[in-house]
Structure 1
Amino acid sequence: MDNVTMIGIDLGKHSFHPHGQDRAGKAVFRKKVSRKQLLEFFATFHSCTVVMEACAGAHWMARKLSEFGHAVKLISPQFVRPFVKSNKNDFVDAEAICEAASRPSMRFVTPKTESQQTLSALHRVRQALVRDRVCTTNQMHGFLLEFGISLPVGHAVVRRLPAVLAEYRLPPRLVAILDRLHEHFKYLSEQIRDIEKELERQLADDSLGQRLMTIPGVGTITASLLASELGDGKQYRCSRDFAAAVGLVPRQYSTGGKSNLLGISKRGDKNIRHLLVQCARAFMLRLDKQSGRMADWVRSLLARRHSSVVACALASKLARIAWAIVSHNTVFEQRAAVTAA
């Protein structure tokens, strides 16, 4: 198997299916191995290009195989799917991964470091806790509404739930259920605060995160997530590529020489896109106190476009600014608007 130049691996939880091929693309071997057997195989195999789909466990496996001297590449699963021939199985998937990686125009995913993966996991835990807290709040509102008690929307009212229960006469069992939900709400809020404090401590020691916080509207949560996902920014050719990867550029459906641009594509990490849109809305809420070219640009857009369209446009601009700060090792500089003579 000395003529093997590329190996595609279909990853699994317990079993893995490597597919090796030579420089001409001819299949040399394919086998089914366990995780331990896979690591033992690549530890003694000569250096070659190893390609995998960017899925769960792929980043750890990429770091591990790189230690053995192999050139590891990760491909988004959506780019592998068109190369699957006929019926689908694990060996066909591994062959399709090699076929996709052989394309000269293929785009690859940069493997994450351990710190990036840890920070990303912390963000996902916080996101799950926030989602659980919203569900708990909605459940309390729903139970009270069934008994004719309508509370204003928001967490502040939920924190005053004991006073609300004392004011109205409700069944004792329902009061016990609401008290249990209220305790769960306070527990979730405490856990979210602890995670946010941990993010602030990590961001205080991260120069990249501090530079990202100079962007108007960007706070601790968004800056730390951008720092973990962007890395050095070299995986993107330009700022628009990063905005497109986040899903903040228009979808295109053009034919016959006629350009047709639709809404935003909503590709990539929806959490980053959601946070950037929220940063844009926060900037727009304080627009009367903002100055500079960006503020004037937003005001001119609001004069002729809906606020939601402007928020998405501003979020795309914030994504481009973030990439420029990371790739050029600089900070955001607020520039005054140039007035015409």
Structure 2
Amino acid sequence: MFYAALDVSLRSVAICIIDQDGKVRLERSVPSEVPGLVRCLREFGEPIHQVGLEAGTLTQHLTYGLTEAGFDVVCMEARQVNAALSAMRNKTDKHDARGIAQILRSGWYSRVHVKSVESHHLRALISCRKVMQRKCIDLENEIRGLLKIFGVKLPLRLSRGGFDIAMRDTIESDPALSHAMLPMLQARRVLFDTFTELDRRVRKAAHADPVCQRFMGVPGVGEITALSFKAAVDDPARFKSSRTVGAHFGLTPRRFQSGEKDNPGRISHAGDADVRATLYAAANAMLMRSIKWTSLKAWGVKLMKTKGRRRAIVALARKIAVVLHRMWVDGSDFRPGSEAAA
């Protein structure tokens, strides 16, 4: 029985193949392309039981390519692999590949779910929208800061579409100022038009997806939250219990227990930060903006009176994640609950 480990970098992959006794049988470095990896593994001449690599940017591309070639690919949790490899005195790609091979042989690892291509497409769309939004905000803040030097104070709130009109009237009245700032304003306009188009595509994708439509039946959950959650979870069956979804997105407290010490901490902030932020925004909208009564909101309001607003919103965000996953698994719609039960 043979185990192959891959230490992946952008341009090359260090390969180490060991037998069931841990003896190194092959070490080689090849380009980080699927055909080269498949050729190297097949030239070894013996059937390989498993191929292991740690989670990274090329994980999805390499995993699907090797799986299609007939190999059993194991994607390992990067923090566990890093903790195991930190005991090695010298860090090289060759030594890392050896360490990953031994971890794979021993079974001391947590297997990471490799998301589907569809999920990565959705995440790419959401990420592009967010990048354009950030760049627009950065340019708007830069323009506001430059105008303050000349004593121009803009209103605190301007609609995204009205910003260009308000700025152009102010800048064009001063020829020297327009010479410097009109190109920046034009660049902001192009970015804003791009953001508007990407935002339209994101919302269209959410409304076209039946799962996202059910998610949006929860008060406070909009298109961005629904699509982000669906893309991040990808396969609801990979969670044995809906209660673990909150922990997956870092919405449960840390705990440090040793001997007589048992200190609960703040939330772990593990997992996808963008999904955690959208769930927090959904919980805040349900608690502070939504006028529709639900048992979830009643629970959050009650918690807010004893624990404070921020803790209540975090707890409600975790509950929303649990509810969304259960709705997805059961294929059910959101049920507000009964006021008598609350």
Q: Is TM more than 0.5 here?
A: yes
The alpha carbon displacement at 1:228 in A equals 1.4
Structure 2 counterpart SS, 1:80: helix
Structure 1 counterpart SS, 2:257: coil
Which string of whole-angstrom CA distances, capped at 9 and with x for unpartnered residues, describes residues 232-282 of structure 1? 223323223221221111111222244311111111111111111111111
TM-score for the superposition, normalised by structure 1: 0.89
Match of 2:281 among 265, 278, 283: 278
Match of 2:246 among 239, 243, 248: 243
Give the letter aligned to residue 329 of structure 2: S
The alpha carbon displacement at 1:124 in A equals 1.4
Kept in 2, the 8 Å contact 1:196–1:221? The answer is: no
Task: Tell me if 1:63 matches 2:64.
Answer: yes
Structure 2 counterpart SS, 1:181: helix
Give the letter aligned to residue 37 of structure 1: G
Task: State the partner residue of 2:311.
Answer: 309
Change (3 A) 1:69 1:172: same
Match of 2:191 among 173, 188, 191: 188
Task: Tell me if 1:120 matches 2:123.
Answer: yes
Task: Tell me if 1:25 matches 2:22.
Answer: yes
Task: State the partner residue of 1:41.
Answer: 40
List runs of 5+ in structure 1 lacking aligned partners: none
The alpha carbon displacement at 1:335 in A equals 1.0
Kept in 1, the 8 Å contact 2:232–2:272? The answer is: no
Task: State the partner residue of 1:51.
Answer: 52
Matches within 5 A, 1:189-338: 189-287=192-290, 289-338=291-340
Task: State the partner residue of 2:95.
Answer: 92
CA distance in 1, matches of 2:164, 2:199: 25
CA distance in 1, matches of 2:320, 2:64: 31
Structure 2 counterpart SS, 1:31: strand
Task: Tell me if 1:11 matches 2:8.
Answer: yes
CA distance in 2, matches of 1:282, 1:185: 29
CA distance in 2, matches of 1:126, 1:325: 27
Change (3 A) 1:90 1:262: same
Give the letter aligned to residue 25 of structure 2: V
Task: State the partner residue of 2:136.
Answer: 133
CA distance in 2, matches of 1:126, 1:51: 34
CA distance in 2, matches of 1:282, 1:176: 43
The alpha carbon displacement at 1:170 in A equals 6.5
Kindly, what percent of the aligned residue pairs are identical?
Answer: 24
How many residues align? The count is: 336
CA distance in 1, matches of 2:139, 2:53: 39
List runs of 5+ in structure 2 lacking aligned partners: none
Kept in 2, the 8 Å contact 1:230–1:326? The answer is: no
Give the letter aligned to residue 40 of structure 2: F
Kept in 2, the 8 Å contact 1:252–1:262? The answer is: yes
CA RMSD of aligned residues (A): 2.4
Task: State the partner residue of 1:76.
Answer: 77
Give the letter aligned to residue 268 of structure 1: G
CA distance in 2, matches of 1:207, 1:101: 39
CA distance in 2, matches of 1:33, 1:169: 58
Q: Which moved more, 1:124-133 or 1:201-210?
A: 201-210
CA distance in 1, matches of 2:224, 2:138: 21
Task: State the partner residue of 1:147.
Answer: 150
CA distance in 1, matches of 2:142, 2:226: 32
Kept in 2, the 8 Å contact 1:17–1:31? The answer is: yes
Change (3 A) 1:208 1:73: farther
CA distance in 2, matches of 1:262, 1:80: 25
CA distance in 2, matches of 1:82, 1:323: 31
Kept in 2, the 8 Å contact 1:137–1:155? The answer is: no
Matches within 5 A, 1:158-177: 159-160=162-163, 162-163=165-166, 166=169, 171-177=174-180
CA distance in 2, matches of 1:102, 1:329: 39
